[in-house]
């Protein structure tokens, strides 16, 4: 596999997971570990970045500590071992949405027996810049392995989301990232972003959001993870949320250009044709500044993508991870 990306978790072929099959546990126990030296480094990195880019905003993010896939058999639930990170809105309604949802629901087996549990803490963008995206990331991983038997223990590990979006014509959407974005400038990507803890804590400042405020809101957290996928597609591609199916979860990819940062990857159908999507993108959107071009690949061409492909070198790690998961999990979709 491409050294820039690996899988933390990959669903079985044709067994992508629906929202009802995802569970979360939220606790301060799943936050990043700390020691004085790294805290000083994080503050120094942040001060330097803000001085150069005063518009930066330190938003709260969910931190992925681990993921455990369990399989329900005829007897008690049996946990299946998987790699985990300790190692390693609104939705419109209408006929279009119902049609997209029905086609998406067929991607999940009617008698699906898998349940995924995500152990989540909290982190922030400042911590991400000072750990995963820092020159000290390798040393922090070594320290984590030596001190905690967990190379990611001292890293922020914010959970991202991404989506392989298929148009009504069966084409897959790719976006060329702007030269002004902080990461992977100019490379091809899929629509994506982050679920936002602030959506579940109205009236609370980003700095004051903590795990205690999210207790008994576990289902709302899962809903935010899934709805954030559609929100990011809508904002970046400029398509209405009502044209998008319910996302189905394919797996978790790790970006090794940012020290194994995790991203949950989803598959989403769009009821609009390729030309309709292209026209809407060209008319602009809330996050139009993040990309400069939209591309469409046929399903056949997406399944031909690998390290030998010319386009592969133009793709950022998040897109590579999502495409590889799509090839494995959605072979007939």
Summarised one tens digit per residue, pLDDT across range 269-289 is 999 999 999 999 999 878 888
Q: Residue 99's pLDDT band (boundaries 50, 70, 90)? A: very low
Q: How far is CA 296 from CA 18, 46, 309, in A?
A: 26, 37, 16
Please tell me the least confidently modeled range out of 84-88, 112-116, 303-307. Answer: 84-88
Gap between the Cα atoms of 155 and 171, Å rounded: 36
User: Which segment of 14-18, 72-76, 122-126, 324-328 scores lowest on mean pLDDT?
Assistant: 72-76
Per-residue pLDDT, averaged over 307-315, amounts to 96
Residues of 217-230 as b/e, b for ≥16 C-beta within 10 angstroms?
Answer: bbeebbbbbbbbbb
Count Cβ neighbours within 10 Å for each residue of 123-139 and write b for 16 or more, e otherwise: bbbbbbbbbbbbebbee
Please, which residues bridge with residue 253 across strands? Answer: 7, 263
User: pLDDT-based confidence at 10, cuts 50/70/90?
Assistant: very high
Task: Give the mean model confidence (pLDDT) for residues 65-88.
Answer: 60
User: Mean pLDDT, to the nearest integer, of 178-206?
Assistant: 93
The domains located in the chain, with CATH, are 5-73+112-330 (3.90.79.10)
pLDDT at position 101 is: 56
What is the spatial distance between Cα 173 and Cα 244, in angstroms, rounded to a whole number?
Answer: 13
pLDDT tens-digit map of 127-170: 999 999 999 999 999 999 999 999 999 999 999 999 999 999 99
CB 116 within 8 A of CB 108: no
């Amino acid at each position: 596999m491409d050294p820039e990306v690996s899988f933390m978790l990959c669903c079985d072929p044709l067994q992508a997971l629906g929202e009802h099959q995802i569970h979360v546990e939220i606790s301060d126990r799943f936050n990043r570990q700390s020691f004085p030296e790294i805290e000083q480094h994080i503050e120094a990195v942040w001060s330097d970045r803000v001085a150069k880019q005063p518009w930066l905003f330190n938003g709260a993010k969910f931190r992925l500590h681990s993921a455990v896939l369990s399989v329900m058999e005829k007897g008690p639930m049996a946990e299946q071992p998987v790699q985990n990170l300790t190692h390693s809105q609104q939705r419109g309604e209408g006929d279009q949405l119902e049609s997209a949802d029905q086609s998406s629901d067929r991607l999940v087996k009617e008698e699906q027996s898998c349940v995924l549990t995500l152990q989540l803490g909290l982190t922030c963008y400042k911590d991400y810049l000072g750990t995963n995206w820092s020159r000290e990331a390798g040393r922090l991983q070594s320290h984590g392995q030596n001190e905690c038997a967990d190379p990611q223990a001292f890293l922020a590990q914010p959970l991202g989301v991404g989506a392989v979006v298929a148009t009504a014509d069966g084409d897959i959407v790719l976006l060329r990232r702007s030269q002004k974005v902080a990461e992977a400038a100019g490379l091809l990507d899929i629509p994506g972003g982050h679920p936002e803890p602030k959506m579940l804590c109205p009236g609370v400042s980003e700095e004051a959001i903590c795990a205690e405020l999210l207790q008994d809101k576990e289902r709302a957290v899962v809903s935010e993870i899934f709805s954030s996928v559609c929100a990011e597609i809508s904002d970046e591609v400029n398509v209405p949320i009502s044209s998008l199916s319910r996302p189905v979860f394919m797996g978790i990819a790790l970006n090794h250009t940012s020290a194994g940062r995790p991203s949950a990857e989803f598959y989403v159908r769009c009821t609009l044709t390729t030309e309709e999507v292209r026209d809407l993108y060209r008319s602009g959107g809330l996050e139009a500044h993040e990309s400069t071009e939209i591309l469409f690949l046929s399903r056949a061409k997406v399944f031909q993508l690998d390290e030998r492909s010319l386009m592969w070198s133009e793709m950022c790690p998040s897109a590579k991870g999502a495409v590889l998961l799509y090839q494995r999990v959605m072979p007939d979709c």
